[in-house]
Chains A and B, each alone.
Chain A
Amino acid sequence: MSVCTLRIDNRDVAIAAGASVLEAARAAGAAIPTLCHLDGLSPVAACRLCLVELEGSDKLQAACVTAVADGMQVRTDSPRLREIRRSVIELLFTEGNHVCAICVANGHCELQDLAVTVGMDHSRLPYRFPDRHVDLSHPLFGLDHNRCILCSRCVRVCDEVEGAHVWDIGWRGEHCRIIAGLDEPWEAVNACTHCGKCVEVCPTGALFHKADTSEEKQGHPERLQALVHARNHQQWQP
């Protein structure tokens, strides 16, 4: 396998060709924030948090979908990137209704963690207080649209890993929302196997176990990764 050498924030990195800049950065110990990306799922480059600067180009590139190239020079941090990341987090917070204090994911929420990372102590943009619903029809799980950031991880895990394709994104633009079946209550969709994968990969408190109360939700993306690894490599760790 051929190897690419590149420079990330003044550190030299050697990594297999075909890897993404995100993988290379992680190997080099550079922290790039991500939300929509999850190892084991196909990349969509929707959240735009992982944007990085490439030497010789004005255009920012999403690290999660950009392949490494020999001699590439990557900058993962700059005032420009910081401003974008903070704005993106502000846009996510103001778009939904995130009342962290009463959320199941409080303390274990990727969105909340990122707000701290990017230094968003308040929003410079007004909150929009949209009118959104909660679907509690499923016997085990719930979906609170108020906390959904439309990262589509649930859609992808249910389609790509579980093969059930219960979820999809419905409508368009500001009206986008996660839908089950023909925009029905979750419980009405027979395809759901109750596997819980969507709940485990949800970065926020939008998808949750009904048994959990505030601050009790823990995401488990590592279970997905173990599963995908086992399937791809035919290796199981009992």
Chain B
Amino acid sequence: MPEPYPELQPVLQRHGYRPDGLIEVLNRAQELHGHLSPPLLRHIARQLKLPLSRVQGTASFYHLFRFQPPARHCCLVCTGTACHVLGAAALLAALEHEPLQERGIELGSVRCIGTCSGAPLVVVDGQVWNHQSAAGVLDGLRSLDP
């Protein structure tokens, strides 16, 4: 049987199949596959010779690892301090009331991306939108391809 997930070989090799490479391998696996599925996690556990619960326990500890496939678009509202004092909570609450899911947009939050001069801001598919209002974000989201 051919080895599953051959695309993970380089990162596994770079870390010599050692357990301390686990987080780097998980990062790469998620980059390639969008999320960490059970077969993928089993494969990584086997390659690094780690117990399954150790792999799951580690992956679930970190906010950025996900176990469900991502939606087509992602809108993160920054809820760091600077964004909070300039209205992020209201912005997030307003967006939570919108049926974004139906339009393939996943809503989430992040605690400061370090460009607070643009507060309050959102990150849409990796792009930073500065000084946003709920209406502005919704306007922008409408122009994303469905």
Chain A–chain B contact at Cβ < 8 A:
yes
Binding site for B on A (CB under 8 A): 159, 164-172, 179-184, 189, 191
Please, which residues of chain A bring their CB within 8 A of the CB of B57? 168-170, 179
Known A-B contacts A171-B61, A182-B42; A191 and B51 likewise in contact (beta carbons under 8 Å): yes
In the complex, 13 of the A-B residue pairs with CB atoms within 8 angstroms, ordered by the A residue number, are A165-B54, A166-B53, A167-B53, A168-B54, A170-B53, A170-B60, A171-B60, A172-B63, A182-B38, A182-B55, A183-B60, A184-B52, A189-B52
Q: With the chains together, A51 CA to B133 CA distance in Å?
A: 49
Write the chain A residue with the least CB distance to B39: A182
Residues of B within 8 A of A (CB-CB), count: 13
Interface residues of B: mostly helix, strand, loop or mixed?
helix
Are A172 and B53 neighbours in the complex by a CB distance under 8 Å? no
Q: With the chains together, A184 CA to B42 CA distance in Å?
A: 12
Please, which residues of chain A bring their CB within 8 A of the CB of B41? 182
Please, which residues of chain A bring their CB within 8 A of the CB of B53? 165-168, 170, 179-182, 189
B27: CB under 8 A from chain A? no
B56: CB under 8 A from chain A? yes
Q: With the chains together, A225 CA to B11 CA distance in Å?
A: 42
Write the chain A residue with the least CB distance to B62: A172
Are B52 and A182 neighbours in the complex by a CB distance under 8 Å? yes
Please, which residues of chain A bring their CB within 8 A of the CB of B63? 172
Q: With the chains together, A181 CA to B61 CA distance in Å?
A: 15
Q: With the chains together, A182 CA to B41 CA distance in Å?
A: 8
